[in-house]
Each structure stands twice: as C-alpha cells, then as structure tokens.
Structure 1
Amino acid sequence: MSGTAVPGTVLITGTSSGIGLQAAVATARSGHTVVATMRTLEGARALRDASATAGVTLDIRRLDVTEPGSITEVIAHMLDRYGRIDAVVNNAGAGHVGTIENEGLDVVRAVMEVNFFGVVSVTRAALPHLRQSRGRLITVTSVGGVVGQPFNEAYCAAKFAVEGFMESLAPVAATAGVAVTVVEPGAVASSFIDNVGLDPRASPPNDPYASALAGYLARAAQSFSAAQSAESAGASVAALLDGERPPFRVQTSDAARAFVGVKLADADGSAVQRMTAGWLD
C-alpha cells in the first residue's frame, strides 16, 4: 500500500460509532477486507446495520486498546485468517472535558491510557506486519492535537502526544516502507461529545472556573451545531488507503484546516492564546 494501493486487509479500531463506523463501511465499500474492532461487542449493532445497508461485509471483533491481550488476539486472528495486515487505522479514543484543579491525576492517567498508550500499543503490535506488507499506519487524532483548548487539558495532552509520537515515527517507518499519517478532524457530529464525562451539575462549590466553563460549553455547543458529518470525516479517512502515499498530516474539512493553520503559522503562540481566550467570555 505504500505506492498505489490495491485492496488489502485493514484493521480499524473504535468502530462502534462516529468516524470509526463510517470509515469501516467506506473502506469496505472500496474493496478492502476490514477487521472492524470495538471495546465491547455490545456496541456492534449500529455497525452491523450500517454495513448491511451499504451492502458490505465486515469482520467485527472485540479489541480494547488498553488490554494488550485483546490486541494480540486480533492481530493473530488477522494473520491466521488473511495472512497479512496491509493497513491499520488507529481511531479508538475517548473525549474528556475538565480542568486539573478540579480532578485527580487518576483521571488524567485514564485519558492518556486510552488516547495515547492505546495508540502506541496497537502501533507496536502491528508494525512488524506493516513492514512486511509495506503498508499504511493512519491515526485519527484531532485539531486538539495541534491547538490546546480550554478545559481539554488531558485530552489535548494525549492528542499532542500522539502527534509527536507519529511525527517522530514517520521518517523511521518510511525507511521500512510504512507510510504514517495523522488525521485531524474538527467538530464531528457523532456521539463523541456525549461521552466526554462532564456533568456541569457536579462542579465544586464556589468553583472559580464556573463562568469560564459556561463560556466554553456555549462555544462548544455552537461548534458542534455546525459540525462535519461523521460520514464525511470517515470517507476522508478511508480515502487515505487508496491511491498514492498520503501526506503526513491531513485535515478532514476546511474548518479543520483553517483552525490548525492558526497554530502552524503562530511562531510565538500569541494568536492561539487570543483565539482560545475569547471562548471563555
């Protein structure tokens, strides 16, 4: 898959909903064999319905990125059944909203475990097989992996870590024929925003950040009201498995490109600080 891609065998994590679900269906529609995984198969119904509607077949498996044994099991299954792994799409992740003074380090560690170490674990397990196939490693990060955002300290830290990891890995993997890409969606209409673990009613008494949080939540609601569809974002991910070697960094919408463009052109950091401070009024 490092040059012009031909149909191959693709592992996608986090396919129970949103971008992962749509990417799995779109990838199968392109002719690839898709092993679509999720943390618990209790969430597989939506994926099965979507694949049936699209007229494609998926190999649906359980894979929890925080459990090394389940990663090993799926990799072994793919090698036993298909004999190769041509691409991996690291999509599994979990949102989180909160600020460090109001939450414990255990919460931050849990966010890092899913969003960073889970990606690292899957990548490490898959790389020997991607080397053999000269395949592709695609990781869905976020515009939050480029621009730090208020009340997203742990989440953005994890996504920043993923971006740094992959940016460092990319030239090394390229020497072995593996193409590495990060995908940066902006706001996407999915269940992601419902799973960030925030209960505004649970704010500490006399919370000094309550007003700023209210401003942030109002801005987030506005952003997600005009969000990119999960189908569109998933199609952007699936497209990276076909054609010539993709670039290292890809955004899934014009809004995402404009957003990360502020950071990438901001040598002293002042433009980003002005932008995000305005969200808290």
Structure 2
Amino acid sequence: MTSPKTVLITGTSSGIGLAAALAAAEAGWTTIATMRNTGKAEALLKAAEENGVADRIQVKRLDVVDPESIAACLDEVIAEHGRLDALINNAGAAQVGTIEQMSLDDVRTAMEVNFFGVVAATRAALPHLRAARGRVITVTSVGGAVGQPFNEAYCAAKFAVEGFMESLAPVAATVGVDVTVVEPGAVASEFVANIGLDVPALLAAAGPYAPAMEAYLGRTRDAFASAQTPAEAAAPIIEALTGENPAFRVQTSEWAREFVGTTLADLDGSAVQALTRAWVR
C-alpha cells in the first residue's frame, strides 16, 4: 500500500496554522504540526481529538529562525515517514510601529521570522519535495502586496517572501515542485493578540506620529471586528494542497482579492497611496 502523503506545517499552535493542520488531517494527510514551543500544543491536540484526526497529527518542535531545528525536524520526518510531499510555511510574527521609533534590531527580528525563516525552511525541504514532486505553500498576507502604515518591517518581510516565491516558482516547476502563496486579510486569531501591544504606551511614545497612529489603530480594530475565522482562511490553503494545478497567488476572501487587486493594477502607485493615506487621517 502507498503510504499517506505527508505535509509539514509551521506555526500551528493557534490561528491559521492550527486550522490548516486540522483540515489537512481531515483531508487524509499525515500532518506534521510544528511549533517553536510544543508546550503550546494543547489546543491543537484537543481539537484533533474532537475532530477524530488525532491519529493523523504529529506535533514536532521547529523554530524557523534556527536552521539546526529545521534540519532535525526534517530528518525525523523522513526517518519516520519516508517522504515529505508538502511544506506549508505559516509561522510568522507581527511588528507594529514606524521606522523612526523602531530599532534596527526590531526590523531584523521581523525579517528573521517572516522572511529568512521561510527561506530556511523552504531550502531545507526542497530536496525532499523534489523527490515527491510536491508543493511549497506559503502564507504571506495582503501586506505582502499592499504596504500598510505602521507595518513597514512586517510588510517589507512579506513583500520579500512574495518576491522570493514568485522568483522560485518557475525554477521549482522544472523539477516538479509547485509553489503557491496564500494572502489572508484580517483573521480573528491570536496573531494580533500575540503582538502584545500596549496601546496607551504606543501612543504616548509616538510623538509627532500619534494622531496617525491613533487613526490607524482605530481602523485596524474595525477591520478585525469583521475578520475571517481561521478555518475560513485555512480553506484555500487546503485547496492549494490537494487541488490539481494550484494557482501561484491565492487570496482567502473576496475582500482580500479586491484589496490585493488594487496594487496589482496600480502601475504608478497612486491608487494604493490614496487608499492607505486615508487610514492615518
């Protein structure tokens, strides 16, 4: 008998990653659900039990900013399952602030987690994905297509991921590996809560940017009040995982499609600037 296909997903302790792990297991895949701190696996394991897929989900430690952790995890997967058919790069971290009030270390941290972590995991997985003629699916963001106020570092990292994957896709295709980026908009998950923002302190430290920051935070609160659920955002990821000939770029909602469409059709940049400037006044 052919062994079940195996997918490794990063950042599965909550939100989209947790929902994608459950959905992949429900689709019949052996699902390697990874996270930096496996002590946070309780929510995933409980949901897997409740959904009857606990036997198809295996939690492993993987820290995307630690190449040795990535290599060790992949070695275990191949030793235990003999194959890797797909990688879903989902791990990420938000970073709110404007550059004058951020340190360069803050920016480097955002790039390490959101960009270099994706590069490192993809690089390590590609030999196995070539052997399986598999797939790389990367959760980016609408912020990887539209630069957003007070998200300079985060959007820079997500833009970099999109450029990396768009460049890799035709090369990977020559060896049988499909590449897809998935662009969510606002998702009701712990991702935003995990930023740990102290809003009063943020505004107090914003100096001349305080009015713009206050306007931005108000707009963002409104956006997340009508956000997608993690399960809704994960559905297109699973379609890219299981469907034939997945598209390179996929959005997770009609709002995300319209939003990303703004920049893809905006040859001189004026439409995006008109849109995002309204967020800070």
| TM-score of the alignment, normalized to the shorter chain, above 0.5 | yes
Aligned amino acid, residue 214 of structure 2:
A
Q: Please report how far the alpha carbon of residue 205 of structure 1 lies from its aligned counterpart in structure 2 after TM superposition.
A: 5.1
Contact 1:186 1:256 (8 Å CA) reproduced: yes
Aligned to 1:21: 18
1:233 maps to 2:224: no
CA distance in 1, matches of 2:136, 2:245: 11
Contact 2:240 2:247 (8 Å CA) reproduced: no
Contact 2:180 2:248 (8 Å CA) reproduced: yes
Aligned to 2:58: 59
Aligned to 2:145: 146
Aligned amino acid, residue 35 of structure 2:
M
Please give the residue correspondences for 1:11-90 in structure 2 after superposition, counting only pairs within 5 Å.
11-57=8-54, 58-90=57-89
CA distance in 2, matches of 1:42, 1:151: 32
Aligned amino acid, residue 249 of structure 1:
R
Deviations 1:47-81 (A, max 9, x none): 01111111002110010001111101110011101
Q: Please report how far the alpha carbon of residue 239 of structure 1 lies from its aligned counterpart in structure 2 after TM superposition.
A: 1.8
CA distance in 2, matches of 1:206, 1:32: 47
Aligned amino acid, residue 129 of structure 1:
H
Aligned to 1:263: 263
Aligned to 1:3: none
Aligned to 2:220: 220
CA distance in 1, matches of 2:117, 2:236: 22
Aligned amino acid, residue 37 of structure 1:
T
Q: Please report how far the alpha carbon of residue 143 of structure 1 lies from its aligned counterpart in structure 2 after TM superposition.
A: 0.1
CA distance in 2, matches of 1:123, 1:211: 40
Q: Please report how far the alpha carbon of residue 193 of structure 1 lies from its aligned counterpart in structure 2 after TM superposition.
A: 1.1
| Paired residue secondary structure (2:207) | coil
Aligned amino acid, residue 65 of structure 1:
V
Query: Quick check: 164-173 or 205-214, which moved more?
Result: 205-214
Query: Quick check: 203-212 or 39-48, which moved more?
Result: 203-212
CA distance in 2, matches of 1:155, 1:196: 12
CA distance in 2, matches of 1:154, 1:116: 11
Please give the residue correspondences for 1:125-274 in structure 2 after superposition, counting only pairs within 5 Å.
125-203=124-202, 207-274=207-274
CA distance in 1, matches of 2:260, 2:124: 30
Aligned amino acid, residue 194 of structure 1:
A
Contact 2:15 2:191 (8 Å CA) reproduced: yes
| Paired residue secondary structure (2:21) | helix
CA distance in 2, matches of 1:128, 1:183: 22
What is the aligned-residue RMSD (CA, Å)? 1.2
Query: Quick check: 66-75 or 235-244, which moved more?
Result: 235-244
Contact 1:108 1:154 (8 Å CA) reproduced: yes
CA distance in 1, matches of 2:206, 2:247: 48
Q: Give ranges in structure 2 of 5+ residues lacking alignment.
A: none
Task: Give the % identical residues.
Answer: 62
| Paired residue secondary structure (1:208) | helix
Q: Which runs of 4+ in 1 moved over 3 A?
A: 203-206
Contact 1:66 1:113 (8 Å CA) reproduced: yes
CA distance in 2, matches of 1:199, 1:103: 15
Larger relative contact order, structure 1 or 2 (CA cutoff 8 Å, min sep 6):
1
CA distance in 2, matches of 1:271, 1:27: 37
Count of residues paired in the alignment: 276
TM score, norm. by length of structure 1: 0.96
Q: Please report how far the alpha carbon of residue 243 of structure 1 lies from its aligned counterpart in structure 2 after TM superposition.
A: 2.4
CA distance in 2, matches of 1:255, 1:136: 26
Aligned to 2:108: 109
Aligned to 1:99: 98
CA distance in 2, matches of 1:53, 1:233: 20
Query: Quick check: 11-20 or 234-243, which moved more?
Result: 234-243
| Paired residue secondary structure (1:180) | strand
Contact 2:206 2:213 (8 Å CA) reproduced: no
Query: Quick check: 189-198 or 75-84, which moved more?
Result: 189-198
